[in-house]
Amino acid sequence: MKTLVVENIVKHYDNQLLLDDISFEVQQDESVCLLGPSGSGKSTLLRIIAGLEQPESGRVVWKDEDITDKPPHQRKFSLMFQDYALFPHLMVRENIAFGLRMRGKIMNEINPIVDRSLAMVRMESFGQRRVSALSGGEQQRVALARALAPQPELLMLDEPLGALDRALREHLMSELRALLKEVDIPVIYVTHDQQEAFNIADRILVLHDSRILQSGKPSEVYTRPASPWLAEFFGFDNQIEGKVSKESPLLIDTPIGEIHSNCTANKFSTNDKVVLVVKPDALRLQLDGESEAFSGEVLDCIFSGGYYKMMVDMGDAVKFEFELDKEFPPGQKINFTLDPESVICYRKSQ
């Protein structure tokens, strides 16, 4: 069942186009992640769904009802803010109870819900603390409990882990994942961190240049980024332009030599101009001098925990970075081939 439908949303900010005809749907029970670099309009989109901002055109539809003009306090959506936006004048308990009080609940109903919410985020003993006395991780939990307490019909989270340090973030990420599976409502999660998106989401929407560039399961999106920009966004920096010299199997002529690709997403014909993305796991060492092998000089080899990051001079001033389980001293010449499975081919945009 389509629960939330966002249709053709357009929004400018300071005369800049921020959201250009954005449409997507969210199903009941689905966690959707809006992933994109900062400034891509993710948070604005959340605020439009929450009713805090008005789109210039387009509609927000909730269970077949157009709610575009409905004020935020009547929508029963919860939004957890990036810096939590806890009420500084209220205690932890009162912060969590706020949404319940606003919905007209009496104290007898509120107290057990607040207790449960505190237990859910494991903050039982913190009820009477001032929010200013909490650490970042504790504030994050209170904000989550506050967003969940009124039993919203839709939960939105705006960079909920963005303000935390890395160790805490990884710890809370798995907790959050478990919690979101528990609550039986659609979730929209905004982040710029792919790791977070992969962990949390059932589906990822990548937002860039005011449009949704790709949408799909986390594994799909990662293994087959839809454009060179997306490939680079996911950290695939080895890119080179070339021209198709053979259609099947696909062979591309590049300044550093001919490269095979098993890319089947598009049909290419001879002489098409293309961009190749070579993933960092593409390198296969070649010990006996095979004719098709590349040769390059190791520029740098850095231990990165579990693997080595190796910078290789591919010739013609092109440098590629690979991930390897072996260390090579800088200056060493190596021979290798590139696995066609790990080479993605894109038509060059005009």
Choose which of 36, 41, 51, 225 interacts with another protein (CB under 8 A): 51
- Using the contact rule CB under 8 A, the part of the chain among 19-27, 68-76, 188-196, 278-286 near another protein is 68-76
Return the number of the residue (87 or 235) whose C-beta is nearest another protein: 87
103 binds another protein (CB under 8 A): yes
- Using the contact rule CB under 8 A, the part of the chain among 99-107, 200-208, 211-219, 228-236 near another protein is 99-107
Measured CA to CA in angstroms, residue 337 lies from 74, 221, 231, 330 at distances of 60, 26, 21, 19
56 binds another protein (CB under 8 A): no
Choose which of 58, 72, 127, 162 interacts with another protein (CB under 8 A): 72
- Using the contact rule CB under 8 A, the part of the chain among 95-103, 116-124, 233-241, 251-259 near another protein is 95-103
Among 33, 50, 36, 43, smallest CA distance to 13 is for 43
Choose which of 3, 31, 68, 78 interacts with another protein (CB under 8 A): 78
**Shortest gap between Cβ of 151 and another protein (angstroms)?**
12
**Shortest gap between Cβ of 132 and another protein (angstroms)?**
6
Return the number of the residue (93 or 260) whose C-beta is nearest another protein: 93
98 binds another protein (CB under 8 A): yes
150 binds another protein (CB under 8 A): yes
52 binds another protein (CB under 8 A): yes
**Shortest gap between Cβ of 146 and another protein (angstroms)?**
7
73 binds another protein (CB under 8 A): yes
102 binds another protein (CB under 8 A): yes
Q: Are 294 and 338 in contact (CB under 8 A)?
A: yes
265 binds another protein (CB under 8 A): no
Return the number of the residue (69 or 325) whose C-beta is nearest another protein: 69
The torsion of the CA quartet 9, 11, 17, 19, rounded to 10 degrees, works out to -40
Distance CA 107, CA 97 (A): 9
Q: Are 178 and 189 in contact (CB under 8 A)?
A: no
129 binds another protein (CB under 8 A): no
**Shortest gap between Cβ of 26 and another protein (angstroms)?**
17
319 binds another protein (CB under 8 A): no
70 binds another protein (CB under 8 A): no
Six-digit token pair at 79? 């939004």
55 binds another protein (CB under 8 A): no
Six-digit token pair at 92? 């932890």
- Give the phi and the psi of residue 172 in degrees, each rounded to 5: -70, -25
Question: Interface with another protein by CB under 8 A: which residues?
Answer: 47, 50-52, 71-79, 81-83, 85-90, 98-99, 102-103, 132, 146, 150
